[in-house]
Structure 1
Amino acid sequence: MKLLCYAVSDLEKPYIMAWAQKNNIEIKMVTEELSYKNVQLAQGFDGVSSEGITPVDERVYQAFETMGIHQLAIRQVGVDNQDLLAARKHHITITNVAAYSPRAIAEMGVTQAMYLLRNIGIYQDRMAKGDFTWDESTISTEIFNCTVGLVGVGHIGGATAQIYRALGAKVLAYDLTYDASLEPYVTYTDLNTVLHEADIISLHTPLFPTTENMISEDQFKMMKSTAILINVARGGLVDTTALISALQHHEIAGAGLDTLADELSYFGEHKNPSELPADYETLSQMPNVLITPHVAFFTKLAIRNSIEIALNDAKTIIEGGRSRNIVS
């Protein structure tokens, strides 16, 4: 058996090599993300894995089908960059890694919330100007006196709920699917109640056409003026223009963003800051906004697990088995 891994980083290589040696499987690694321009690299391989960051169109799946490849193992949770209908049409089974480390992403969301709750960005902005004062506008609230609202309580949302409950917060949750195991940690309710009552609103839902811009102008107007929005899920869940307006007009108090809607347009290093989008520039200059470059997942455990789960799935499907991580 031979596998090809696209978009391999230096950090991933040791884990991939260890898995290949353990399973006695030949693996080739390339740094480029999978696209139609390089899909022919997969010729002669039995299976493929990719990071899944950039969009893939039908031509890629058609090429796989022609090569006799019938699976694609994505090494992350999100599959919004995959055309699932086109993949099914060409008999390509796509798997994702739904739970490589829910705790890693949950901890990043809580970290951002605590940073914003205690107004650290505002204090740092003042201190950079020589102002070491505090006043009524920066007084904070302990987390156990807060109500946290979770939009989506799957693996990551569930882990987030457990952390906030351990800190003493009241946790409200909105999800289309009920999970009885989360009853000790959350109170299930509707989306409007979450938006109206929560001091911290944390997003943990996939990006689909039905969830794109689910947090927009109307939703911001429902929130408390003291509310903090946390998005460690997908940038497209939030209408960026509406977010900027809500922050500028003090409709909400702050935002923690590990992902932005147009982040693919500026991933990587930019020596010329003028290349960055205007909305990023506006948000990054706000002391009540904390932006990180989509790194909530980025822990040693998460990297190892994402590789091992994805490659195990590739092997299982090639050998005629069925994985629980198949994306329907």
Structure 2
Amino acid sequence: MKILCYGTLAVEEPYARAWGKDHDVQVDLTSQPLSSATVEQAKGYDGVSTKGIVPVTADVYAALEKFGIKQIAIRQVGVDNQDVAAASQHGITLTNVASYSPRAIAEMGVTQAMSLLRHVGIYQDRMKKGDFTWDASTISTEIFNCTVGLIGAGHIGSATAQIYSALGAKVLTYDPAYDAAMEPFTTYTDKDTILREADIISLHTPLLPSTKNMIDAAAFKKMKPNAILINMSRGELVDTAALINALKTKQIAGAGLDTLANEVTFFTQKKPYTDTPQDFQELNAMPNVIITPHVAFFTKLAVKNGLEIALNDAQTIIAGKHSRHAVN
């Protein structure tokens, strides 16, 4: 059995080699993403895995079908860069890694929220200018006196609720699916209540037609002026222009973003700063905004689990069996 891993990071390589040895499977690696330009590399393989950051078009599935490949093992949660209908049409089963380390992403969200809550970026910006003073504009609130609102309560949302609850915050959650296991850590409510009452609003929903731009100008108008928005999920959940306006007009106090709507054009790349999108530059210049390049997942445990779970799924489907991680 031969599996080709696309978009492989250097830190994934030892785990891939070890998995291949343990399972007696040839695992080959390429740093290039799966795309129309690279799909020919899969010829002669039994299966493929990809990081799933670059959008995959219908011709890629057609080529894989021609090569006799019946699956793509995606090494992340989101499948929004896959054309699920086209994959199904060409007999390609997509699997994702729904839970590689929810704590990794939850911890990054909490880290950014706590930094913004205590105005760390504003103090650093002042100190660079020789200003080491403080005043009423940067007085903070301790986390146990804050209300945290979570929109989405899957694996990552649940882990986030547990951390904030342990820190003493009041946690509110909106999710169409009720989970009784969340009761010790949160109180379920509606989205509007979260927008109105939360000091920290953290997004943990998939990108769907129904969730795209769910945080828009109307949503920002409902938020408290001290509210902090945290997005560890998908950039397109937030209307970027509305976010910039809300920050400029002080409708909200800050934002922590591990993902942006246009990130595919420059995240994971090296390029001159002046060539990056203007909205990113505008946000990045704000001392009350933290942006990281979609690295909330990037811990040793998460990388190991993501790689191993994806390869397990690839092997399972190649063998003609069903994976519980199949998304189509």
**TM-score using structure 2 length:** 0.99
| Alpha-carbon distance in 1 for matches of 2:193, 2:140 | 23
SS in 2 for 1:212: coil
2:222 aligns with 222
Amino acid at match of 2:168: G
1:84 aligns with 84
2:152 aligns with 152
2:314 aligns with 314
1:231 aligns with 231
Gaps of 5+ in 1: none
Q: CA deviation at 1:312?
A: 0.3
Amino acid at match of 2:42: A
Q: CA deviation at 1:63?
A: 1.0
Deviates more, 1:246-255 or 1:174-183: 174-183
2:172 aligns with 172
Cα deviation per residue 1:90-131 (whole Å; 9 max; x = unaligned)? 111000001000000000000000000000111111111111
Coordinate RMSD, CA, aligned: 0.8
Retained in 1: the 8 A contact 2:229–2:254? yes
SS in 1 for 2:302: helix
Q: CA deviation at 1:271?
A: 4.9
Q: 1:283-322 to 2 correspondence within 5 Å?
A: 283-322=283-322
| Alpha-carbon distance in 1 for matches of 2:293, 2:31 | 19
Q: 1:136-147 to 2 correspondence within 5 Å?
A: 136-147=136-147
Q: Identity across aligned pairs (percent)?
A: 64
Retained in 1: the 8 A contact 2:49–2:314? yes
Q: CA deviation at 1:323?
A: 1.3
Retained in 1: the 8 A contact 2:151–2:174? yes
Retained in 1: the 8 A contact 2:267–2:294? no
Cα deviation per residue 1:233-292 (whole Å; 9 max; x = unaligned)? 111100000000000000000000011100111124445221011101111111100111
1:282 aligns with 282
2:73 aligns with 73
Deviates more, 1:155-164 or 1:184-193: 184-193
1:198 aligns with 2:208: no
Amino acid at match of 2:215: I
Q: 1:238-249 to 2 correspondence within 5 Å?
A: 238-249=238-249
1:254 aligns with 254
2:106 aligns with 106
Amino acid at match of 2:10: D
| Alpha-carbon distance in 1 for matches of 2:139, 2:172 | 24
Q: CA deviation at 1:304?
A: 0.2
Amino acid at match of 2:88: R
Residues 67 and 259 from structure 1, CA distance in 2 versus in 1: closer, same or farther, beyond 3 angstroms? same
| Alpha-carbon distance in 1 for matches of 2:292, 2:29 | 27
SS in 2 for 1:149: strand
Q: 1:43-82 to 2 correspondence within 5 Å?
A: 43-82=43-82
Amino acid at match of 1:286: M
1:19 aligns with 19
Q: CA deviation at 1:135?
A: 0.8
Q: CA deviation at 1:144?
A: 0.4
1:30 aligns with 2:24: no
Gaps of 5+ in 2: none
SS in 2 for 1:12: helix
| Alpha-carbon distance in 2 for matches of 1:130, 1:274 | 26
| Alpha-carbon distance in 2 for matches of 1:48, 1:290 | 35
1:327 aligns with 327
